[in-house]
């Protein structure tokens, strides 16, 4: 492939390119925008001209053509309208009005100043009220009588900055595209419409930068440098040494003047360089990618598939994904644009290739939503030129009729009988005629609302509806519930007393436990005691075990080692009964320590036929997999990969009872939801007392055949169902004293603080 050398920056370009990859200039001729001053500063005029040249370059890009080729006609018309609007109206005005009035966003100072300045202007810029496209496109030509027919007309504000010839060249390039719109996929068109709207917003912001540059007289640059205002101070570039290392080379080894003129201006920027008139939020060292590109940090456009790959999420579920004009405008807050890393700007400035700056931003952790949104805007910038040509071709969409129920939902003011708006043409109140909403009446007429010029101080402020007030009240209720301070302590204990009290209570509790083990009946002092009876749920467990006698029983050891002190008693009780009934047992665990606990428990039982299936990975997902294997063992080779004896897995459908021993709610619920819900095999559980309320809720719903709750439940089960009592009963006996002590402490503590609180309240009232 032959290469063409750019006469402006000496960059090698492919032969088929008309514009330089590096600087964006036309290959083969010098642009009037060349010839930067020798000092390393940029005047406002130069900046504006360069911005315009950057626009030129983007519009001419080949990829842009391919992007726009797929646009449907109605969208192309929208693009054309957007271009004309951008060419004839002050683009900042619409954006500022929209930001300041419609959205009531918190604008930065520099933007607020611009807003107020414009609101004081006696006459709005012509064409803005007619041509501003909304989200819903109304492309009837007669609806916009003031729309200029010449899309290449140079606006006044730009004419002030540029030479007429230069500006004419810039805008003439937009007409050179020949890209018919042939797309038919309405979903893609919807997406493209969003992108196009975002592109319009981006154009307006870029124009706002131009406007800032225009606001600063070129000749006053030196004075401004000497006595910078706060805004102007913020407008200075602050390229650090790390961000633009190549600039140092140009400083150390100054190039000849003629050579320097041919370098892209970004390469000639000095660390002390500044872009006057550009707010710091935009012109800071942390340049966002789109601005880096604007400043000539050229980069290859991204593949067209990328924006087509936007997930077509349903709006009702993903309002955030829908980058409406409001959201894009909010994301274009210059304060947020200033975020980014200096590295991104350097990469964009120094690299020309397929890897774009947004990629780098994502790689450095800068892939926030605003950045990706801007990346999309960057793509969308390429489309308008193609859309202009597609004005010729019209795609006739079938007229659709809204169903009655949708008509009934329509706000009355948008209906056919609604009174005409004072500022909008009557036809704008009727149905949309193009696009996917073609024929629908009552579409939200954003266009006339946005297009109508108005000052920031005018217009009725939104008033809170009753429902909004209630929402506020609800929010306050939630917030206050969270933040409500705790009542003041009844009395302030001296520092350290709390620790001693805790230690004292702890020691007393410990002593009660020790005494409970050494002298369970207190040497005969203990009265006749009544232990908790066996529960209905425990009786159900016994019935299930009896019914499964001789059948394989699957036992899950899903309790933590910390709960082994309680759960081992429950496990021993149930395994004893299973061993007595001659049921072979398969053990497994969802947790790694559970494998060891199962091994220990099986080792404690005499006469128990047990085999360990091992560790079941995946928790809930693993349980669902196991549930499938209980029905279809043929596909269970991947289950328990460490198990050498596959016969155990193949015997899973023969399981007659599932016993789950757990101390965790998630584990219990997982078994009930994933296994018990799809199985006829009964499932019983042994749980801690802390978990017994959860188990009881499921047992009442018959999802859980029965359960034993902790040591008291196991002890009762031993007494009622087994021939002899075991360790559970022994542990319960030792626990009695500690239980009484704990209950007494709770009661006494509660009474003390309640009474102290009453007296404290009276004392405070008396004072």
Closest to other proteins by CB, 49 or 687 = 687
CA-CA distance, 495 to 498, in Å (whole number)? 7
Reduce the DSSP state of residue 442 to 3 states and report it.
coil
Contacts of 569 (CB under 8 A, 6+ apart): 710, 711, 714, 715, 726, 727, 728, 731
* Token pair in block for residue 620: 């809930």
- Count residues near other proteins (CB under 8 A): 144
Q: Please give the residues from 731 up to 750 whose contact with other proteins meets the rule CB under 8 A.
A: 731-736, 738-740, 742-743, 745-750
* Token pair in block for residue 79: 């693009």
Q: What is the DSSP string of 248-273?
A: HHHHHSPPPHHHHHHS-GGGG--TT-
Nearest one of 136, 129, 145, 141 to 75, comparing CA atoms: 136
| Placement of tokens 């819900």 in the chain | 677
| Minimum gap (Å) between residue 436 Cβ and other proteins | 21
Give phi and psi for 340, each to the nearest 5: 145, 175
Closest to other proteins by CB, 411 or 496 = 496
* CA 539 and chain centroid, separation: 50
| Minimum gap (Å) between residue 280 Cβ and other proteins | 25
Closest to other proteins by CB, 18 or 368 = 368
Among 698, 705, 718, 721, binds other proteins (CB under 8 A): 698
Q: Please give the residues from 434 up to 473 whose contact with other proteins meets the rule CB under 8 A.
A: 466-467, 469-473
Q: Please give the residues from 265 up to 294 whose contact with other proteins meets the rule CB under 8 A.
A: none
CA-CA distance, 291 to 277, in Å (whole number)? 15
CA-CA distance, 343 to 292, in Å (whole number)? 11
- Torsion sign (Cα): 709, 715, 721, 724: positive
The one segment of 199-207, 223-231, 399-407, 507-515 that binds other proteins by CB under 8 A: 507-515
Q: Please give the residues from 582 up to 621 whose contact with other proteins meets the rule CB under 8 A.
A: 592-593, 595-596, 599-600, 614-621
| Minimum gap (Å) between residue 513 Cβ and other proteins | 5
Closest to other proteins by CB, 136 or 716 = 716
Closest to other proteins by CB, 124 or 358 = 358
Q: Please give the residues from 328 up to 357 whose contact with other proteins meets the rule CB under 8 A.
A: 355-356
Q: Please give the residues from 114 up to 143 whose contact with other proteins meets the rule CB under 8 A.
A: none
Among 168, 215, 560, 655, binds other proteins (CB under 8 A): 560
The one segment of 196-204, 256-264, 538-546, 686-694 that binds other proteins by CB under 8 A: 686-694
Among 121, 146, 363, 418, binds other proteins (CB under 8 A): 363
Among 113, 146, 313, 547, binds other proteins (CB under 8 A): 313
Ranges of beta strands (E only) in 300-393 are none
Q: Is 525 in the site for other proteins (CB under 8 A)?
A: no
Q: Is 376 in the site for other proteins (CB under 8 A)?
A: yes
* CA 333 vs CA 108, 201, 281, 325, 374: distances in Å: 8, 11, 9, 13, 11
| Minimum gap (Å) between residue 192 Cβ and other proteins | 14
Among 375, 660, 661, 684, binds other proteins (CB under 8 A): 375
Helices (H), 552-664: 564-581, 592-604, 620-631, 646-650
CB count in 10 Å sphere of residue 710? 23
Closest to other proteins by CB, 326 or 355 = 355
CA-CA distance, 744 to 739, in Å (whole number)? 9
Torsion of CA 316, 321, 327, 328, to 10 degrees: -150
| Minimum gap (Å) between residue 353 Cβ and other proteins | 12
| Minimum gap (Å) between residue 412 Cβ and other proteins | 23
């Amino acid at each position: 492939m032959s290469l063409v050398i750019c006469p402006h920056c000496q960059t090698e370009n492919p032969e088929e390119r008309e514009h330089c990859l590096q600087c964006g200039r036309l290959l083969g001729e010098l642009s009037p925008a060349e010839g930067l001053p020798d000092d390393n500063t940029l005047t406002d005029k130069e900046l504006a001209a360069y911005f315009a040249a950057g626009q030129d370059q983007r519009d001419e890009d080949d990829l842009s053509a391919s992007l726009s080729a797929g646009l449907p006609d109605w969208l192309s018309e929208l693009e054309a309208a957007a271009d004309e609007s951008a060419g004839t109206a002050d683009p900042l005005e619409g954006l500022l009005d929209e930001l300041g009035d419609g959205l009531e966003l918190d604008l930065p100072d520099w933007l607020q100043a611009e807003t107020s300045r414009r609101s004081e202007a006696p006459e709005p810029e012509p064409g803005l009220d007619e041509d501003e496209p909304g989200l819903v496109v109304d492309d009837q030509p007669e609806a916009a009588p003031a729309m200029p027919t010449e899309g290449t007309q140079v606006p006044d504000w730009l004419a002030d900055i540029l030479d007429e010839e230069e500006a004419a060249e810039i805008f003439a390039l937009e007409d050179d595209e020949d890209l018919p719109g042939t797309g038919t996929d309405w979903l893609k068109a919807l997406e493209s419409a969003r992108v196009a709207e975002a592109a319009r917003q981006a154009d307006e912001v870029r124009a706002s930068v131009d406007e800032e540059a225009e606001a600063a007289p070129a000749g006053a640059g030196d004075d401004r440098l000497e006595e910078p205002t706060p805004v102007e101070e913020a407008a200075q570039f602050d390229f650090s040494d790390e961000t633009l290392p190549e600039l140092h080379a140009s400083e150390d080894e100054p190039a000849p003047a003629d050579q320097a003129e041919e370098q892209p201006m970004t390469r000639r920027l000095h660390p002390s360089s500044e872009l006057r008139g550009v707010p710091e939020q935009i012109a800071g060292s942390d340049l966002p990618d789109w601005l880096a590109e604007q400043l000539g940090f050229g980069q290859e456009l991204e593949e067209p598939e990328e924006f087509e790959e936007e997930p077509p999420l349903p709006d009702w579920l993903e309002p955030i994904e829908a980058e409406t004009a409001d959201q894009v405008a909010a994301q274009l807050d210059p304060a947020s644009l200033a975020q980014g890393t200096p590295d991104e700007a350097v990469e964009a400035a120094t690299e020309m290739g397929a890897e774009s700056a947004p990629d780098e931003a994502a790689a450095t952790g800068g892939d926030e939503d605003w950045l990706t949104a801007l990346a999309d805007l960057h793509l969308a910038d390429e489309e308008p030129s193609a859309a202009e040509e597609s004005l010729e071709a019209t795609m006739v969409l079938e007229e659709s009729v809204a169903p009655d129920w949708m008509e009934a939902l329509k706000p009355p003011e948008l209906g056919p009988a609604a009174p005409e708006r004072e500022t909008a043409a009557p036809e704008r109140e009727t149905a949309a005629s193009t696009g996917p909403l073609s024929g629908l009446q009552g579409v939200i007429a954003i266009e006339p609302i946005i297009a109508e010029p108005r000052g920031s101080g005018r217009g009725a402020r939104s008033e809170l509806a009753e429902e909004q007030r209630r929402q506020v009240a609800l929010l306050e209720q939630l917030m206050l519930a969270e933040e409500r301070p705790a009542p003041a302590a009844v009395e302030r204990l001296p520092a350290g007393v709390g620790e001693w009290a805790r230690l004292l209570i702890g020691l007393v509790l410990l002593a009660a436990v020790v005494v409970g083990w050494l002298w369970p009946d207190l040497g005969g002092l203990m009265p006749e005691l009544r232990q908790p009876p066996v529960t209905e749920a425990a009786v159900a467990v016994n019935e299930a075990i009896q019914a499964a006698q001789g059948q394989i029983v699957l036992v899950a050891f899903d309790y933590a080692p910390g709960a082994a002190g309680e759960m081992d008693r429950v496990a021993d009780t149930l395994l004893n009964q299973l061993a007595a009934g001659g049921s072979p047992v398969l053990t497994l665990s969802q947790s790694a320590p559970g494998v060891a606990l199962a091994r220990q428990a099986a080792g404690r039982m005499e006469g128990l036929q047990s085999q360990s299936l091992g560790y079941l990975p995946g928790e809930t997902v693993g349980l669902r997999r196991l549930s499938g294997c209980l029905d279809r063992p043929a596909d269970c080779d991947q289950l328990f990969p460490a198990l050498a004896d596959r016969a155990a897995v193949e015997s899973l459908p023969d399981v007659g009872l599932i016993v789950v021993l757990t101390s965790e709610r998630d584990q219990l619920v997982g078994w009930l939801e994933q296994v018990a819900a799809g199985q006829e095999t009964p499932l019983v559980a042994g749980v801690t007392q802390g978990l017994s309320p959860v188990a009881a809720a499921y047992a009442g719903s018959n999802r859980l055949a029965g359960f034993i709750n902790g040591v008291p439940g196991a002890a009762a089960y031993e007494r009622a169902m087994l021939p002899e009592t075991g360790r559970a009963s022994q542990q319960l006996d030792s626990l009695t004293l500690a239980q009484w002590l704990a209950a007494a402490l709770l009661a006494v503590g509660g009474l003390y603080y309640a009474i102290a609180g009453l007296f404290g309240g009276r004392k405070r009232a008396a004072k």
